[in-house]
Structure 1
Amino acid sequence: MKEIRSFVKSASLSELEKAKQLIDTAIEKYTQQQEAKKEVLDLLKEKGLTLEDLQDVATTDKRTKVKPKYRIEFNGEIVEWTGRGKRPKAFQGVDLTKHLA
C-alpha cells in the first residue's frame, strides 16, 4: 500500500489514468471470476456434488505402486527400496542379494 501511495503522489496525470485503467480491468476480471465460481458451486449443489468429489477424480494417480524389493535395518530404522531410482545411503556398499524383501 505504501508503494501505491508513493506512486500516486509522484505520478503524472497520464500515469494515474493508465493505473486507473489497469485497476478497473483487474476489478472487472476479479468480479467475473467470483461470478463464475458462484455459478460452478451452484451447479455442483444442483447436481448433488461437492468439491471433494471433483478432487478425487483429478488426483487419482494412474501409476502403480511398486512393492519394495529390498529391506535393511539402518540406524535403528527399517529402510525399504524398490530397486528403482538412486540407491539410498542404507544400501551403499551392501550386497543386495542378502537383503531381499
Structure 2
Amino acid sequence: MKELRAFIKSASLSELEKAKQLIDTAIDKYTKQQEAKKEVLDLLKEKGLTLDDLQDIAGADKRTKVKPKYRIEYNGETVEWTGRGKRPKAFQGVDLTKHLA
C-alpha cells in the first residue's frame, strides 16, 4: 500500500486514469471469478458431489510417493533421499549404509 500511495502522490492525471482502469478491470475479473466459483459450488451441492469427487474424476496423479531410504544431518538440517536420481550434496562421499532411514 505504501508503494501505491507514493505512486498516487507522484502520478500524472493520465497515469492515474490508466491505473484506475487497471484496478477496475481487476475488480471486475475477481468479481466474475467469485460468481463462477459460487455457481460451480451450488451445482455440486445440487448434484450431491464434493470437491474430492471432482479430483477423482480429473485423474489425480497415480504415481506413488517413494519413502526416503536415507537420512542424514547436514548443516543443522535433516536431509532425506530416496536413493533415486542425482545424489544430494549431503550424501556426497558418505557411506550410505550408515544413514539408512
Fold shared per TM-score above 0.5: yes
- Farther-moved stretch of structure 1 (9-18 vs 56-65): 56-65
Indicate yes or no: 2:55 matched with 1:33.
no
**Inter-CA distance 23–64: structure 2 relative to 1 (3 Å threshold):** closer
**Pairs aligned (count):** 80
For 1:8, the equivalent position in structure 2 comes to 8
Structure 1 residues 2, 86: closer, same or farther in 2, change over 3 A? closer
Q: Following the alignment from structure 1 to structure 2, what is the Cα–Cα distance between the partners of residues 41 and 12? A: 43
**Cα gap change, 1:86/1:16 in structure 2, threshold over 3 Å: closer, same or farther?**
closer
Q: Give secondary structure in 2 for the equivalent of 1:49.
A: coil
Structure 1 stretches of at least 4 aligned residues deviating more than 2 Å after TM superposition: 55-66, 83-91
Q: Tell me what 2:60 maps to.
A: 60
Compute the TM-score of the two structures, normalised by the length of structure 1. 0.61
Q: How does 1:52-91 map to 2 (within 5 A)?
A: 52-58=52-58, 60-63=60-63, 85=85, 90=96
1:12–1:48 distance in 2 versus 1, CA, 3 Å: same
- Offset of 1:57 from its aligned partner? 3.4
Per-residue CA distance 1:38-95 (angstroms, 9 max, x = gap):
00000000110011211233353344789xxxx9xx99xxxxx7x864578626xxxx
Q: Which amino acid aligns with 2:9?
A: K
The normalised TM-score by structure 2 is 0.61
Shift of 1:4: 0.4
Aligned to 1:45: 45
The percentage of aligned residue pairs carrying the same residue is 78
Unaligned runs of 5+ in 1: 76-80, 92-101
Structure-2 separation of matches of 1:65 and 1:12: 55
